[in-house]
Structure 1
Amino acid sequence: MFSVLYPLLLTACTIGNVLNLVLLISTKRQKTTNAYMIAVAIADIIVLSWTFFPPYLWNTSATLHLPYKNRHNWAIVSAALPYTIWIQETFIQMCDWVLTAFSLERLLAIARPFTFKWVQRATTARIVIIVLLLFSIVFNSGNFLREWYLWRYTLTIGTLPAWLKDWTKAQDAAEVVVSFLKFFGLLCINVLVIGALNRQQRSDIGQQRSAQAVTSLRRSKSSNHLLLGSVALYLTTLLPSMVYKFLEMADTYKVYNFDPSAKLFATPFCDVTMLTNYSVNFFLYLTVSENYRVQFMRLFGECCARRG
């Protein structure tokens, strides 16, 4: 399943996110929404294009798939592997945290727009993104060290030094806990966003607004639609992985017997659904946001007019 669908996901991710970046960067008035969406688009491209592609080639190409012990024949792929896994996990984490930060920004902007004006600045969003990237790099340093140690000394998991095995166990446990926290945290925050939007809509009934206020409200509405669409996609595509991790954890603690044959079936399915989250964002934005569609058609029309 994965070997067939990955090229399609990679194509959709590359084309969609490149168009998304061109549109977002060309926007004259940069907002927090643009900053967060640019960060997500870059992370999506890195996850699907740069980090999954070398292992995909390794697993599908008969030319590259050579014996493990013959280092000279597969030096390029194997040397890149520790960095690939580390970068992959780093940008997956970063993408999730950026979506969480975007959700919090929208909640504060709707519920307390005057109290938290500083949160609604593009500069603040860029600082938050840099901090989240640094946090993700440090958080996933254990993965890099483990993979580099295995590659450098050609060891198996069982022969790692005691300190690195302990670090690996702690890292794996932390990743499971953090994954659940992010999933349910995003769900709770966006339930609050929907509640705040409903209260705002009820309070706006019958009010007269200036043209400037109407334009500002329209932009805010577009940002809210982009956020809620992105979160709905994230929760839907990550749910199978959450169930898989829960069953795997239950199997570790002997609460549930997770059959190996079920794992073989579930793993590629979970991988495909997870990667879908990183490949269809552009098409989602076109679907849920009228403002995004108008901007895209305007940019596309300008490009066609220049060529004509």
Structure 2
Amino acid sequence: MSQSRAEMFTPEGVDLEHPNVARVYDYYLGGKANYAVDRVFGEKALERYPFVAAAAKANRLFLHRVVRYLCKQGIRQFIDIGSGVPTMGSTHQVADEIVDDASVVYVDNEPVAVAHSRILLEQEDVTDQHTVLHADLREPDRLWKQIEESGVIDIEQPVALLLLAVLHVTQPGSDGEDIGPQSVARFRELLPQGSFLVVTHGTADDVPESRKQEMADFGKMYDKSATPVIWRPHGEIEELFGDYELVEPGCTWTPLWHPEESGENAPVVEFDSPNDSVVWAGVARKP
């Protein structure tokens, strides 16, 4: 097994004993910012559950479409929490194709994801417009202060807060309870009027019975990793938007959200049915 880009250097704090969800996700997307422990896990997962790669790619293509859509709505500031590693088109790359004045703050608590994001921004010489923070969504007030101090985002002006495929990674607090929804509620309060909240989340609701069992088994694989996952029902995912106003068509499967915003050369991910994508998505505006 060849050495990946990640193994050429190892940032301080990296756990090499357990697979990490951000690095495994990078592997699913064909990236190089992963370690042997992640590739072994990813290969085993894809061998058993081949739908996972298509679902991951559909989620990333949703990101591309939502960034294009929001740029056209006048949004120029993006906060991408749980952004992972820069694979298959990052938020700032898509935004920069549409406008020349977008600003992006990437946030992740995984050292490899942060390190590779910094390298990408430095290589592209865009660190005056975009930045990356090593931070945790479970501490929204602290994170918000870090965003303000970065100088990249004006927190008094509308922003798009992106929480893509991160909230189904369990976010336990000190008492072991998953506090992801609680953190999202605080972010909704912190966001200025006119901002957008974007969420994608794995769900076993309304998926084919065979896929539902696969998702249960797939989730058990992650139970043994450093980053367990949880599949929420549609209702719980939609509650994350609070009293924000959902953008048409409301919450739906990732392939169905504004397909007209696909890039000219966007890859096509084929599903027998949209619910095979297993990821529920929505965009909502703070009134």
Name the TM tier (shorter chain).
under 0.3
User: Which structure's residues are more often strand, by fraction?
Assistant: 2
TM superposition score normalised by structure 1: 0.27
Larger Rg: 1 or 2? 1
More relative contact order, 1 or 2 (CA 8 Å, 6+ apart): 1
More helix by share: 1
